[in-house]
Amino acid sequence: MSVYQCKQTGRLFVQFNFRGRTYKRRLPATATKEDARLFEAKLKNQVFFENGIEERSEMLWETFVDRVYLEYVEANQPSASLERAIHVLRDSMPFFRGKTLRQIKAADVERFKAHRIAKPTIHGTTRKPATVQRELKIISAVFSMAVKNDLCDYNPVSRVKVPAFDNVQDRILRYEDEDRFLLGFRNSLQRDVAAVVLYTGLRQNDVLGLRKDQVDWNANEIRLVQGKTKRRVSIPMLGRVRAILAGRLDNGSDLFFPSYRTGGQCKSIKNGIRFACIRAGIPVLTIRDLRRTFGTRLHENGFDDKTVADLLGHSGLRSVHRYKRGTEIKKRAILSLERPAASASMSASPVDSPPDAVANLLKLLVEMRGIEPLTSALRTPRSPS
């Protein structure tokens, strides 16, 4: 998309390059983004016509998906992303097949969205709004690539309202449930992986792919480049983490946690965590909840956002605030509002307070607000004659 917004005036403008020439047009101050998109399409059509390009390149949806988008995903993204994209795009064919990318409108995407919301999952359950939102992002990625290749004028998914859902995730493992949770595992590999995530805050894939050369035993640290963010992190090891890793040194593999079946990297311990929670009699958690527990405990112990972000491998501080939802933090916040019994019993109204105390209080408020005081308010009242 070639629509931008001026930082100084806030007005929208359209700007793009064609054959070495820059085209820029400002829109009225009352123009919306929808107006800007329509104006962009109109301007491009005019420019193409003036340059003798009456027939623009077209490509069918299924052709672009198969020959361009899926090849790009296969070359640049993990295999799980490719499998998810194939599944979603296969289901989109009844709605988009036979149409060129420019012929697909927002109404077509709306029908696809309604179909995915109404269609049950393979388990017979209702599809969650978050799942439909992720599927729409895949459709949007296809159109974004088409726009970059001049096969589409705009992304129709941008005109579709995504399903709303509650994205608050605040489940953590409580201290009193920790021992029962770890004892609930029947598989030692799954238990050790869950414990390392809980005590280091590393992501599941980073733990499952942890190699023996990524542990500095002298410095007592795990040093690796995270798979998701590509950030280099150094995590000090607790005694129990060191004991877990030391017990797996002689497993005949470069990995600490190789798969029993293939000898390569395991994919997930999701089911192991689920059944461990059921056996322990606690609410079902996920591997992300264990990582959230690590960050929450750091905040409950008084560590600042920068330290928590560095240990968790976050590139910024915005994602750190989700770890401030722990139970202990909420308890301390509420208890901090409770006044001591002595001060509560001695509380009195301003009328019963000495004049000097009232004057000092007003002076303090004035200094905090930065305003000029009223001299009559600070004047010590005279005693009645």
Q: Is the pLDDT of residue 282 over 90?
A: yes
Total residue count of the chain as it appears in this document: 385
Q: Please indicate, yes or no, if residue 354 is contained in any of the structural domains.
A: no
- Sheet harboring 221-225: ordered strands across? 215-216, 221-225, 232-236
Rounded Cα distance between 25 and 51, Å, is 18
Same domain, 230 and 120: no
Rounded Cα distance between 324 and 334, Å, is 14
What whole-number percentage of the chain has pLDDT above 70? Answer: 77
Q: What is the pTM of this model?
A: 0.58
Same domain, 33 and 66: no
Domain count, the chain: 3
Q: Please indicate, yes or no, if residue 350 is contained in any of the structural domains.
A: no
Same domain, 82 and 115: yes
Q: How far is CA 225 from CA 70, 288, 312, 313, in A?
A: 27, 19, 12, 9
Averaged pLDDT of the chain: 81
Q: Please indicate, yes or no, if residue 339 is contained in any of the structural domains.
A: no
Reported as a single tens digit per residue, the pLDDT across 171-187 is 888 889 999 999 999 99
Q: Is the pLDDT of residue 149 over 80?
A: yes
Instruction: Give yes or no for a contact between 356 and 203, defined as CB atoms under 8 angstroms apart.
Output: no
Question: What are the backbone dihedrals phi and psi of residue 19, each rounded to the nearest 5 degrees, phi first?
Answer: 55, 45
Same domain, 27 and 114: no
3-class SS at 24? strand
Q: Both tokens of residue 77?
A: 């993204």
Domain of 25, in residue numbers: 3-50
Tokens 């001026």 sit on residue? 6
